[in-house]
């Protein structure tokens, strides 16, 4: 982030990844929504983007065209423009965006501002890791994959606007480190503990089914290994539920910490926008663990 003056701050971010679904247009749209989310997670508005593409020489150019079309349509939906980009040859496709956004400095979200008594809300359910991995293993139901794609291509614009209106204390987007990893990144520097209610955390349709079969991407196992030492789970919670909370997400929702009195403003704005959200926990004084998960 670069503060230009008292009224304008420039946000510059980038993200890209290998294919997560087979449909090229959906892949492009997911990649764009994921990259744009970094701007929304800071309370900004995307204005300009550049494509970042690696593409095999032995695949048809029409396939790349469909990927870029999906990306362009999602950027247009966000009210931003694609000004160009760069493409290289590579054995495995990769696509993403470098995104420039603008924000008001006084309304920027950081990761470290959560305070005891704050409410924790989430704008998308969890489960993209287990569902897309089931897809790669040819074990996914079509309706579950369609649902996951719908969530991954959904912009975090509404949640960002509502959080800004409500004066959010802190926020981040839940992506590769899973809910537990990104929550740890917020709670640790703030000197607080995040207490989640597992029963209040939303999961995508089918996610719990594939979790019961222990279908997870490698990133979820890495998250568990990295972040579990700072998490205290209630003994009643199943291993599948615990693993879903570590599940590596793609283009996940915003995790937002709000002062309790601001929740009504956030809720009213999200309802006005017909946007989904869930209250999943609270911020408490620092405990023995960074994260507490209760039933």
Distance separating alpha carbons of residues 199 and 197, to the nearest angstrom: 5
118 lies in the same domain as 13: no
72 lies in the same domain as 171: no
SS3 call for 1: coil
Q: Is the pTM of this model over 0.95?
A: yes
State whether the Cα torsion 37-160-41-220 is positive or negative: negative
Q: What is the pLDDT of residues 43-94, one digit of tens each?
A: 999 999 999 999 999 999 999 999 999 999 999 999 999 999 999 999 999 9
80 lies in the same domain as 150: no
Q: What is the pLDDT of the chain when averaged over all its residues?
A: 97
Q: What is the model's pLDDT at position 43? A: 97
Vertex 173, ends 83 and 73: CA angle to 5°?
A: 35
Count the domains in the chain. 2
Q: What is the model's pLDDT at position 1? A: 87
209 lies in the same domain as 185: yes
**Among the three residues 83, 106, 129, which one is the final residue of a domain in this structure?**
106
**Closest to 266 measured CA to CA, from 166, 169, 171, 121:** 166
Domain residues for the domain of 31 are: 2-106
Distance separating alpha carbons of residues 161 and 171, to the nearest angstrom: 12
80 lies in the same domain as 41: yes
Q: What is the model's pLDDT at position 249? A: 98
127 lies in the same domain as 258: yes
99 lies in the same domain as 127: no
Distance separating alpha carbons of residues 30 and 242, to the nearest angstrom: 26
SS3 call for 67: helix
145 lies in the same domain as 280: yes
**Among the three residues 106, 121, 151, which one is the final residue of a domain in this structure?**
106
SS3 call for 205: coil
Contact between 29 and 66 under an 8 Å Cβ cutoff? The reply is no
Q: What is the pLDDT of residues 271-280, one digit of tens each?
A: 999 999 999 9
Residue 141, CB-side half-sphere exposure with 13 Å CA sphere:
10
39 lies in the same domain as 98: yes
Q: What is the pLDDT of residues 112-130, one digit of tens each?
A: 999 999 999 999 999 999 9
**Among the three residues 75, 106, 137, which one is the final residue of a domain in this structure?**
106
Mean pLDDT of the region 31-41: 98
276 lies in the same domain as 167: yes
**Closest to 95 measured CA to CA, from 76, 77, 70, 78:** 70
128 lies in the same domain as 211: yes
Q: What is the model's pLDDT at position 285? A: 98
CATH number of the structural domain spanning residue 119:
3.90.650.10
**Closest to 250 measured CA to CA, from 160, 166, 182:** 182
Contact between 193 and 292 under an 8 Å Cβ cutoff? The reply is yes
100 lies in the same domain as 127: no
Q: What is the pLDDT of residues 148-195, one digit of tens each?
A: 999 999 999 999 999 999 999 999 999 999 999 999 999 999 999 999
Mean pLDDT of the region 250-274: 98
Q: What is the model's pLDDT at position 68? A: 97
pLDDT of 289 strictly over 90: yes
């Amino acid at each position: 982030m670069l503060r230009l003056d008292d009224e304008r701050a420039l946000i510059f971010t980038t993200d890209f990844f290998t294919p997560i679904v087979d449909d090229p247009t959906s892949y492009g749209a997911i990649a764009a929504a994921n990259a744009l989310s970094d701007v929304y997670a800071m309370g900004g508005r995307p204005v300009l983007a550049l494509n970042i593409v690696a593409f095999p020489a032995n695949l048809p150019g029409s396939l790349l065209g469909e990927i870029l079309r999906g990306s362009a349509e999602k950027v247009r939906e966000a009210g931003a423009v694609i000004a160009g980009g760069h493409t290289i040859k590579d054995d495995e496709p990769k696509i993403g965006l470098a995104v420039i956004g603008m924000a008001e400095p006084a309304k920027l979200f950081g990761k470290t501002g959560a305070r005891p008594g704050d409410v924790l809300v989430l704008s998308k359910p969890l489960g993209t890791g287990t569902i897309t991995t089931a897809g790669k293993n040819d074990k996914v139901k079509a309706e579950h994959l369609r649902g996951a794609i719908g969530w991954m291509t959904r912009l975090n614009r509404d949640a960002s606007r509502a959080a800004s209106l409500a004066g959010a204390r802190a926020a981040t987007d839940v992506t590769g480190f899973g809910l537990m990893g990104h929550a740890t990144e917020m709670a640790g520097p703030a000197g607080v503990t995040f207490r989640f209610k597992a029963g209040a955390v939303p999961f995508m349709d089918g996610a719990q089914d594939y979790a019961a079969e222990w279908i997870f991407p490698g990133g979820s196992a890495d998250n568990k290994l990295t972040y579990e030492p700072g998490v205290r789970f209630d003994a009643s919670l199943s291993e599948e539920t615990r693993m879903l909370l570590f599940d590596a997400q793609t283009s996940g929702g915003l995790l937002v910490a709000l002062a309790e009195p601001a929740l009504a403003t956030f809720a009213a704005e999200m309802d006005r926008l017909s946007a989904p959200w869930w209250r999943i926990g609270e911020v408490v004084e620092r405990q023995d663990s960074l994260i507490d998960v209760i039933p």
